[in-house]
């Protein structure tokens, strides 16, 4: 066995894949990323001696198998727009499973790390535990259940190992989806901060750098266990990491604008507005069935991972927001950012 784990990150230029790649590189671990846009990847990851960039598509099974051949871990951070999930997320997952199988005699299979989510459990009023039973209330939730079942069946059949790290909504540098990007760009430009349906109820979310730290710690723990011949490793294991329960999005937005120095203005998009916009925008049409996530507070119970890593401390909220605003200002708006020092205490850690 190698003394240092080799990791393939799929989706490295996306939200959580970017954070995981950056964390691994900061530890000087060897990382290979398979990306469709090499120039974009090179701009995100500058001068990294332990990084290998390969241009291609995860749906190219021949290429994926070749790139995965000597890897110990495959981070499955592949994502598609909501309206392209069906026929892509499932086929990509099957190809990742196939790529994790041993390619040589006496070679171990790879461990797949999946960033899971809460869609599997529908509009639950109970905190979601690692052993909670799926109860999806949407088509996309049903697809997530099917994808996790594919992975669990493959793991139990000895084709791979799987760590499923469930996360809530996430935000941070390079999170460019239409739910997050406008918040930080509008905050920097003094415009209204957009949200869906209800900005006055608690909402759980996670800073991507913190999620990546948990994921990489789990990866390194798994690697250490593999070197112990007496240890028993589960073929499929679930871990939850919930990040922070924000008292409300409005309170969070207020903290963001206190750092930019701009006034707080929140723009809510109602069910009706989303339904109308969905007539012309396929992605928003798919968002409609997910609105229960914004009308209710859905929580992950992450006691298990905190018990495993009692020394883990999430990034203080003001620091995380400042890092994110700085990234968006420099990378997306192409201008420097100086946070306002208001002297106000942090609302939540």
Query: What secondary structure does DSSP assign to 31-59, as a single string?
Result: EEEEES-HHHHHHHS-S-TTEEEEE--TT
The secondary structure element, H or E, covering residue 65 is: helix 61-68
Q: Is residue 226 part of a domain?
A: yes
- Asked if residue 257 and residue 156 are part of one domain, the reply reads no
Same domain, 255 and 267: yes
Instruction: Report yes or no on 348 lying in a domain.
Output: no
What digits encode the pLDDT tens for the residues 297-334?
999 999 999 999 999 999 999 999 999 999 999 999 99
The Cα-based distances of 144 to 136, 298, 302 in angstroms read 9, 16, 20
Query: Which residues, listed in sequence order, are joined to residue 53 by a DSSP beta bridge?
Result: 33
Residue-wise pLDDT tens digits, 166-212: 999 999 999 999 999 999 999 999 999 999 999 999 999 999 999 99
How confident is residue 13, by pLDDT bands cut at 50, 70 and 90?
very high
Which residue bears the tokens 């499932």?
A: 90
Q: Is residue 129 assigned to a domain?
A: yes
Task: Identify whether 292 is part of a domain.
Answer: yes
* Same domain assignment for residues 228 and 325: no
CA distance 253 to 248: 9
- Distance from C-alpha of 196 to C-alpha of 271, rounded to nearest angstrom: 8
* Residue 105, pLDDT score: 55
Question: How far apart are alpha carbons 97 and 309 in whole angstroms?
Answer: 28
> Are 219 and 328 part of one and the same domain?
no
Share of the chain above pLDDT 70, in %: 95
Question: Is residue 34 situated within a structural domain?
Answer: yes
What is the residue-wise DSSP string for 100-131?
HS--STTPPPPEEEEEE-SGGG-S-SSPBPTT
Within-domain flag for 84: yes
CA distances to 154, 171, 178, 230 from 167, in Å = 22, 11, 18, 31
Both 153 and 293 in one domain: the answer is no
> Do 104 and 248 fall into the same domain?
no
Q: Are residues 92 and 118 in the same domain?
A: yes
Residues 41, 146, single domain; the answer is: yes
Counted domains in the chain: 2
Check whether residue 254 and residue 211 sit in a common domain: no
Q: What is the pLDDT of residue 230?
A: 60
What are 120-146's pLDDT values in tens digits?
999 999 999 999 999 999 999 999 999
Q: Tell me the pLDDT tens digit for each residue of 50-89.
A: 999 999 999 999 999 999 999 999 999 999 999 999 999 9
How would residue 244 be classed by pLDDT, with cut points 50, 70 and 90?
very high
One domain, residues 101 and 152 = yes
How many helices and strands, by DSSP H and E, does the chain display?
Answer: 13, 12
Domain presence at residue 251:
yes
**Inside any domain, residue 53:** yes
Are 165 and 249 within one domain?
no
Q: Within this chain, do residues 56 and 44 fall inside the same structural domain, yes or no?
A: yes
CATH code, domain carrying 130: 3.40.50.720
Domain of residue 250 covers 175-203+244-297+315-332
């Amino acid at each position: 066995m190698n003394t240092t784990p080799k990791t393939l990150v799929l989706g490295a230029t996306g939200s959580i894949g970017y954070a995981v790649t950056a964390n691994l590189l900061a530890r000087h671990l060897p990382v290979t990323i398979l990306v469709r846009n090499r120039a974009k990847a090179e701009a995100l990851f500058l001068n990294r001696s332990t990084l290998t960039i390969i241009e291609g598509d995860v749906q190219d099974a021949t290429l994926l198998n070749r790139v995965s051949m000597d890897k110990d871990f495959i981070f499955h951070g592949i994502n598609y727009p909501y309206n392209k999930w069906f026929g892509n997320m499932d086929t990509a997952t099957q190809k990742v499973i196939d790529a994790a199988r041993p390619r040589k005699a006496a070679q171990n299979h790879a461990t797949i790390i999946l960033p899971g989510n809460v869609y599997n459990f529908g509009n639950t009023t109970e905190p979601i535990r690692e052993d909670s039973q799926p109860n999806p209330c949407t088509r996309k939730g049903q697809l997530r259940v099917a994808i996790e079942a594919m992975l669990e069946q493959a793991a139990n059949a000895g084709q791979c190992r799987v760590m499923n790290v469930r996360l809530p909504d996430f935000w941070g540098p390079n999170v460019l989806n239409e739910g997050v990007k406008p918040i930080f760009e509008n905050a920097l430009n003094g415009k209204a901060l957009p949200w869906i349906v209800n900005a006055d109820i608690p909402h759980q979310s996670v800073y991507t750098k913190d999620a990546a730290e948990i994921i990489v710690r789990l990866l390194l723990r798994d690697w250490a266990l593999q070197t112990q011949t007496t240890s028993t490793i589960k073929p499929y294991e679930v871990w939850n990491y919930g990040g922070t329960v924000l008292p409300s999005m409005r309170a969070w937005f207020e903290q963001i604008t206190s750092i930019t120095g701009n006034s707080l203005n929140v723009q809510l998009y109602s069910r009706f507005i989303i339904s109308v916009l969905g007539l012309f925008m396929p992605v928003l049409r798919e968002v409609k069935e997910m609105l229960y996530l914004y009308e209710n507070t859905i929580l992950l119970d992450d006691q298990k991972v905190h018990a495993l890593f009692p020394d883990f401390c999430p990034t203080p909220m003001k620091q995380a927001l400042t890092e994110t605003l700085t990234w968006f200002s420099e990378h997306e708006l192409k201008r420097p950012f100086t946070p306002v020092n208001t002297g106000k205490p942090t609302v939540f850690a």
